[in-house]
Amino acid sequence: MICGKTYQPDEVTYVCPDHGHEGILDVVYDYEVIARRIRPESLTENQDPTIWRYKPLLPVEPDAPVPPLTVGGTPLYDAPRLAAGLGLKHVWVKDDGRQPTASFKDRASAIAIVKAQEAGAEIITTASTGNAAAALAGLAASIDQPNVIFVPASAPQAKIAQLLTFGSTVMLVDGTYDDAFDLCLEAADAFGWYNRNTGYNPYMSEGKKTVSYEMCEQLGWDAPDVIFVSVGDGCIIGGVYKGLYDLLQLGWIDHMPRIIGVQAEGSNYMAEAWEKGEDVLTKPPIEAHTVADSISAGLPRDRLKAMRAVRESQGAFITVSDEEILTAIPELAQKTGVFAEPAGAAAYAGLRKAAATGLVSPENRIVVINTGSGLKDVASAMKAATMTGAEPYRIRPALEAVRRALGD
Ligand SMILES: *Cc1c(COP(=O)(O)O)cnc(C)c1O
Ligand SMILES: [Zn+2]
């Protein structure tokens, strides 16, 4: 992504040799060959709802064995009440809280598993704020693949519980996600482990791009006008763009949607770089603090692909406060039935802000991606519910008590 040099898949493992850790690679496809292997019509007949229905568009061999968990095929819900509340007409919620380990990260980890097996890896490793780890842990468990996970000790309990339950070797790092990331890279080098890290392993955005295939297919190949997605490392937004780019090259969609990257005010590296026109290769890390742990990243590891996504799609980066993120959780839940973790709700908080500032117009067809289930972070959900004034009635087990509670 820095120098534009191209390599054959067997020439390099992760990054551009000339550019070291920063040298994230982008997978390049031969769309003419792909067009002969897969068409929208052939997909209509394909009963497989998972990401593997798009196998000819993925960087895996046609006969590569894939993990058994059902990754992808998440619902795209029409959300008329949510739309109406914002003065909009067409809003859909793509609910990736419905993935097997309850976050979007399963899309990437599924690819990591296949690539690691292809490489004959004995151990896979990743650093993560929590969800990428849980995704790798679950998918690895599904094929009995040993793995070592690095997460900040401050990760939400539910995510750590998933790791331990799936039987991963868990390193709780006394430090930030950025510390865990650097340590994981060092350990992978030292011990020869297969490295799934975001913004390092070029195949992760290839898994994540499947969300764009799905939403466009679910909309009858009539691409939306605007997509809202939250941004931490920037791998998801880069993947969203890549998927749309592929579809445009194949001629399956006729326009590139605007992609809006939503960041937390306290973790606004990309938004700041975007506003000020800064070079993300030289911009120093920031101190990241936000309730949305999954998008807390001082140095977004996939910042080149994230910036490309917004620039090439004529999109934007915007920020929302922690309070706006928390308020968005019950609002999204009550208007759609989708329960999101803070980083997932952040995308909706971004749409709410964009509707208020005129960044989107009433006629726009808009997709909001929920990237993670609310069950991932119950403490934040309780806090958000409390902020709305919602409170349970504490009662004796008697009908009389129910009557009194209801004010009869
Ligand atoms: C990882 C994650 C994000 C952000 O994805 P990046 O690729 O880091 O930008 C957003 N929401 C959830 C729930 C996540 O787990
Ligand atoms: Zn290079």
Q: Classify residue 221 as exposed, middle or buried by CB count within 10 Å of its CB (0-12, 13-18, 19+).
A: middle
What are the beta bridge partners of residue 366? 91, 226
* Dist CA 300 CA 295 (whole Å): 9
Q: Contact 70/210 with Cβ under 8 angstroms? A: no
Q: What is the pLDDT of residue 178?
A: 87
Assess whether the C-beta atom of 124 lies below 6 angstroms from ligand 1. Answer: no
Mean pLDDT score across all residues of the chain: 96
- Mean pLDDT within 200-212: 95
pLDDT digits (tens, 9 = 90+) for 280-330: 999 999 999 999 999 999 999 999 999 999 999 999 999 999 999 999 999
The pLDDT of residue 408 is above 80: no
Q: What is the pLDDT of residue 372?
A: 98
Nearest ligand atom owner, CA of 102: 1
Candidate CATH numbers 3.90.226.10, 3.40.50.10470, 3.40.50.1100, 1.10.357.10; the one for domain 1-102+203-408: 3.40.50.1100
Query: Please, which pLDDT band fits residue 273 given cuts at 50, 70 and 90?
Result: very high
The pLDDT of residue 1 is above 90: no
Sign of CA dihedral 132, 134, 135, 137: positive
The pLDDT of residue 22 is above 90: no
Assess whether the C-beta atom of 236 lies below 6 angstroms from ligand 1. Answer: yes
**Assessment of whether the complete model's pTM goes beyond 0.85:** yes
* Dist CA 271 CA 318 (whole Å): 6
- CA separation (Å) from 199 to 29, 212, 289, 379? 19, 19, 20, 29
By most ligand atoms within 8 Å of CB, the mutation choice from 210, 230, 341 for ligand 1 is: 230
Nearest CA residue ID for atom 1, ligand 1: 294
Assess whether the C-beta atom of 347 lies below 6 angstroms from ligand 1. Answer: no
- Mean pLDDT within 20-47: 94
Assess whether the C-beta atom of 230 lies below 6 angstroms from ligand 1. Answer: yes
Q: Where are the alpha helices (DSSP H) in 227-366?
A: 235-250, 269-276, 303-312, 322-336, 342-357
For the chain, domain boundaries: 1-102+203-408
Instruction: For 313, list phi and psi in degrees, rounded to 5.
Output: -100, 10
Q: What is the pLDDT of residue 127?
A: 94
Query: Please, which pLDDT band fits residue 201 given cuts at 50, 70 and 90?
Result: very high
Nearest ligand atom owner, CA of 15: 2
Q: What angle do CA 97, 103, 109 make, to 5 degrees?
A: 145
Instruction: For 319, list phi and psi in degrees, rounded to 5.
Output: -120, 155
**Alpha-carbon Rg for the chain in angstroms:** 21
pLDDT digits (tens, 9 = 90+) for 103-136: 999 999 999 999 999 999 999 999 998 999 999 9
- Mean pLDDT within 328-347: 98
Nearest ligand atom owner, CA of 12: 2
Query: Please, which pLDDT band fits residue 199 given cuts at 50, 70 and 90?
Result: confident
